[in-house]
């Protein structure tokens, strides 16, 4: 088996002294198979640049920048089976660019230590590409774009006031996001077929938005904390089922869900006080399950379609349920506590309703 061809650069290309000056640059270009590049800039560097361009097969690039400010790292790979590993230790205002638009079976791993105003921008096209990013600190920015088939992205952010934008176009993509801290934003866009998105946010005042289109999409969202908000939108252009699973724990959280297509499945759970859920569904043969525990929670559901099922369970005081269904629907509602109110409207033939309220001062308005 042929061995890798490695090129190692410490500080600046061809320099043995510490790279502590401003605007240091290292550029390496390699063409062929089984290429390797190791680039490193030591601590106290400012506005340094590391760039690697590799074309061919089974290339590897390792780039390291330590405790610096304003650094920039760029990796461009083309071919099959390439690997890029970028490490930026504690620092700030740094930028990482990963370009694998002409590659397949490529892997990009990025680690940014605790700092502020760091950014990662990654673009992949082709088959079986993977991006893994870990960012620590405040005011971080991340953008990942993947096109093709069976691509995967994994993101971990730990800090405050950070934003992540992820976009996947094609089939069988997977997005997995874990966000810790406060006032963070996550946006995911998936187009194509059989895509899956998982978002886990832990902290206060976070926002998440998931948008999926075409067919057989799956979205799972977990938010733990106070005053978090989430938006889920699924648009299907084929008769392929989509599913949404949302769990919120804490007070004053909000969720908005919009789904079109046939055979959709939604499961929403909220635990805490003052939470709200708004659901809009268009399509047949769909099923929605809502569960709320706590006080003063609100649920609003609007449904257009036939042969649908709606199940609602609210436990606590001061809950509000408003549901409007235009089509044949089966509705089951359970409210336990005091001061509950349910308003349900069913505007078609063949409907069924099972409403149970236990406690004091409960009210219900039903129209069929």
DSSP notation for 130-147: EEEEEEEEES-EEEEEEE
Q: Count other Cβ atoms within 10 Å, centred on residue 367.
A: 9
Rounded-to-integer distance, Cα 159 and Cα 92, Å: 13
Q: What angle do CA 30, 34, 35 make, to 5 degrees?
A: 30
pLDDT of residue 238: 58
- The residues of the chain scoring below 50 in pLDDT are 1-2, 8-21
From CA 190, how far away is CA 56, in angstroms rounded?
A: 29
**pLDDT of 213-251, one tens digit each?**
777 778 899 999 999 999 988 887 656 677 889 999 999
**Is residue 47 packed enough to be buried (19+ CB in 10 Å), middle (13-18) or exposed (0-12)?**
middle
Number of neighbours of residue 50 by Cβ within 10 angstroms: 29
Residue 304 is predicted with a pLDDT of 81
Residues 89/65, Cβ–Cβ less than 8 Å: yes
Give the pLDDT confidence score for residue 17 in this predicted structure.
30
Q: Are 333 and 356 in contact (CB under 8 A)?
A: yes
Runs of H (alpha helix) within 229-350: none
In degrees to the nearest 10, what's the CA dihedral of 222, 168, 107, 163?
-50
pLDDT at res. 44: 66
SS3 at position 20:
coil
Return the pLDDT at 15. 30
Burial class of residue 332, CB neighbours in 10 A (0-12, 13-18, 19+): middle
* Cα distance between residue 119 and residue 227, in whole Å: 26
pLDDT value for 11: 39
pLDDT at 237: 64
Cβ partners under 8 Å of residue 181, min gap 6: 138, 157, 158, 159, 160, 162, 203, 206
Give the whole-angstrom CA distance, residue 137 versus residue 144: 19
Residue with the two structure tokens 């934008």: 165
Q: Determine the Cα–Cα distance for residues 293 and 268; give it in Å rounded to an integer.
A: 12
pLDDT recorded at residue 3:
52
According to the model, what pLDDT value does residue 241 have? 73
């Amino acid at each position: 088996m042929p061995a890798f061809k490695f090129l190692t650069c410490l500080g600046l290309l061809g320099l043995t002294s510490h790279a502590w000056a401003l605007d240091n640059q290292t550029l390496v270009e390699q063409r062929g198979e089984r290429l390797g590049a190791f680039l490193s800039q030591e601590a106290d560097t400012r506005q340094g640049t590391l760039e690697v361009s590799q074309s061919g097969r089974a290339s590897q690039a390792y780039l390291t920048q330590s405790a610096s400010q304003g650094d920039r790292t760029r990796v461009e790979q083309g071919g099959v089976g390439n690997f890029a590993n970028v490490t930026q230790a504690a620092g700030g205002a740094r930028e990482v660019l990963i370009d694998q638009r002409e590659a397949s079976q490529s892997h990009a791993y990025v680690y940014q230590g605790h700092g502020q105003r760091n950014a990662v921008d990654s673009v992949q096209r082709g088959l079986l590409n993977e991006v893994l990013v870990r960012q620590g600190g405040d005011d971080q920015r991340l953008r990942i774009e993947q096109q093709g088939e069976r691509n995967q992205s994994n993101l971990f952010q730990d800090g405050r006031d950070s934003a992540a934008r992820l976009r996947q176009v094609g089939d069988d993509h997977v997005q997995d996001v874990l966000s810790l801290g406060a006032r963070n934003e996550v946006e995911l866009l998936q187009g194509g077929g059989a895509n899956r998105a998982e978002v886990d946010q832990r902290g206060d005042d976070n926002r998440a938005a998931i948008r999926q289109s075409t067919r057989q999409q799956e979205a799972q969202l977990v938010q733990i904390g106070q005053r978090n908000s989430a938006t889920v939108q699924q648009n299907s252009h084929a008769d392929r089922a989509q599913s949404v699973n949302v769990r919120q724990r804490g007070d004053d959280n909000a969720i908005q869900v919009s789904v079109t297509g046939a055979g959709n499945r939604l499961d929403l759970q909220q635990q805490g006080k003052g939470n709200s859920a708004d659901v809009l569904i268009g399509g047949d043969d769909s099923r929605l399950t809502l569960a709320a525990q706590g006080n003063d929670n609100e649920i609003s559901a609007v449904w257009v379609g036939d042969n649908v099922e709606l199940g609602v369970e609210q436990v606590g005081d001061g809950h509000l349920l408003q549901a409007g269904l235009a089509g044949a629907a089966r509705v089951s509602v359970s409210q336990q506590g005091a001061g509950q109110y349910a308003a349900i409207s069913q505007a078609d033939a063949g409907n069924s309703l099972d409403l149970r309220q236990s406690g004091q001062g409960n009210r219900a308005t039903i129209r069929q």
